[in-house]
């Protein structure tokens, strides 16, 4: 069960993030979680949003380089050792975690995870006793 993440490649310059978030605001798209990584000249904005398809289209129409990626949204309890449990499950199966970031929206708590093999990671997480959010549950679609 994957969640659609929107990834936006953008210039690292003043106001560019504001422009991207304005596009989403104008479309009534809620940002549930985001991660921003940068280099000197460019950045990668990754987001889980309420309507990923519309977000991609709207951002592309405004000149942003945007694409959708399947990621896992792994439910985690708010207690010590939960992140270790997730990383251990994936590591034990020889899976690399390419990136991850936290998602907290209302009573939903999760780690958004992109692994080297998404299908194998999904199976490992479920077999390991953790649960996943789907787009419908997470984004209200």
The pLDDT of residue 139: 67
Q: Residue 122: how many CB atoms within 10 A of its CB?
A: 18
The pLDDT of residue 140: 58
The pLDDT of residue 91: 96
The pLDDT of residue 13: 76
Q: Are 75 and 137 in contact (CB under 8 A)?
A: no
Q: Are 132 and 113 in contact (CB under 8 A)?
A: no
Helices (H), the chain: 16-26, 52-61, 82-92, 118-127, 135-139
For 85-111, the pLDDT digits (tens) are 999 999 999 999 999 999 987 778 899
For 37-60, the pLDDT digits (tens) are 877 778 889 999 999 999 999 999
Mean pLDDT score of the chain:
91
Give yes or no for residue 74 having a pLDDT over 70: yes
């Amino acid at each position: 069960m994957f969640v659609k993440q929107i990834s936006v490649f953008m210039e690292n310059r003043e106001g560019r993030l504001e422009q991207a978030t304005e596009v989403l605001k104008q479309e009534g798209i809620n940002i549930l979680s985001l991660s921003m990584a940068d280099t000197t000249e460019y950045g990668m904005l990754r987001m889980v949003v309420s309507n990923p398809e519309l977000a991609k289209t709207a951002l592309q129409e405004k000149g942003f380089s945007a694409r959708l990626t399947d990621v896992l949204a792994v439910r985690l309890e708010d207690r010590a050792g939960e992140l270790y449990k997730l990383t251990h499950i994936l590591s034990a199966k020889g899976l690399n975690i390419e990136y991850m970031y936290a998602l907290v929206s209302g009573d939903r708590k999760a780690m958004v995870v992109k692994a080297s093999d998404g299908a194998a990671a999904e199976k490992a997480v479920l077999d390991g006793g953790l649960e996943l959010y789907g787009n419908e549950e997470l984004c209200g679609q």
